[in-house]
Amino acid sequence: MEEQLLATQAERIGPHMDVVLSADQIRRRVNELAHEIDRDFMDETPIVIGMLKGSFIFVADLCRAMAIPHHIDFMAVAAYGAGTTASGAPKLLKDLTVNITGRTVLIVEDIVDTGATLSHIRRLLMTRQPRRLASVALLDKRTHEDPELPIEYVGFKIDGGFVVGYGLDLAERYRHLPYIGRLNPTQTEETDTRV
Ligand code: PRP
């Protein structure tokens, strides 16, 4: 059944995408991350904060693989385009609905590219004085470690190229794919719909 679904999707998407992480590889790694988080936060009830929209599938899978009790909330920022303010800070589109002061917080990102978004969110959340703040990114595209931007849990380090699927989009397409694929450069010239 799953093979049939994947074949149908591959047929619709066409030959312009290479699968870089299969659904199975992602599932295995997400389970490993969840076990690490369970171990490290065993005595706490962290607030898991998903960064919309890209992290929605990752958050759903990660939370279901975690055994420890936790709360879930979401934030949304516009990282690029018209939403980027003159100061270069990403624009906050949706804030949390819970108070994180004195709480343990786990930020969940689908991908860290330049690190600007995560860096901004970490700074913002630190002003609210959580007890502990950690980050998890399914994909880390950075070529160098940044001591200013620790990411405690990383699913996969990936090379350049534009990746989509498992929540990640190109102009809102491809988010539903259960795997992560790298698009042929000619496919990335479509209009960007981000605000
Ligand atoms: C993507 C991704 C991260 C950010 C990473 O979000 O989900 O939040 O870009 O890039 P950076 O490290 O260079 O800041 P995007 O703005 O595409 O929005 P989306 O999650 O709604 O797709």
140 lines ligand 1 (CB under 6 A): no
193 lines ligand 1 (CB under 6 A): no
- 113 is a catalytic site residue: yes
All residues at 6 or more sequence positions from 90 whose CB lies less than 8 Å from its CB, including other chains: 77, 78, 79, 83, 84, 116, 117, 120, 121
59 lines ligand 1 (CB under 6 A): no
Residues 48 and 65: beta-carbon distance below 8 Å: no
110 lines ligand 1 (CB under 6 A): yes
Helix 56-65 vs helix 23-40: crossing angle, to nearest 10: 60
The per-residue pLDDT of the chain, averaged, comes to 88
| Per-residue pLDDT, 87 | 54
The pLDDT tens digits of the residues spanning 75-86 come to: 999 865 444 344
Residues 169 and 53: beta-carbon distance below 8 Å: yes
The pLDDT tens digits of the residues spanning 116-132 come to: 999 999 999 999 999 99
Residues 124, 144, 82, CA angle at the centre, nearest 5°? Answer: 45
The pLDDT tens digits of the residues spanning 32-71 come to: 999 999 999 999 999 999 999 999 999 999 999 999 999 9
The β-bridge partners of 180 are 21
103 pLDDT tier (thresholds 50, 70, 90): very high
| Per-residue pLDDT, 79 | 66
List C-alpha distances in Å: 136 to 37, 50, 55, 150. Answer: 9, 10, 10, 10
Region 170-174: mean pLDDT is: 93
136 pLDDT tier (thresholds 50, 70, 90): very high
In the predicted structure, residue 1 carries a pLDDT above the cut 90: no
**pTM for the whole structure:** 0.89
The pLDDT tens digits of the residues spanning 138-166 come to: 999 998 888 889 999 999 999 988 999 99
- Read off the tokens for 32: 């490993």
CA of 79 to the centre of ligand 1 (A): 6
| Per-residue pLDDT, 190 | 54
In the predicted structure, residue 193 carries a pLDDT above the cut 60: no
20 pLDDT tier (thresholds 50, 70, 90): very high
All residues at 6 or more sequence positions from 104 whose CB lies less than 8 Å from its CB, including other chains: 41, 44, 45, 46, 47, 130, 131, 132, 133, 134
CA of 4 to the centre of ligand 1 (A): 31
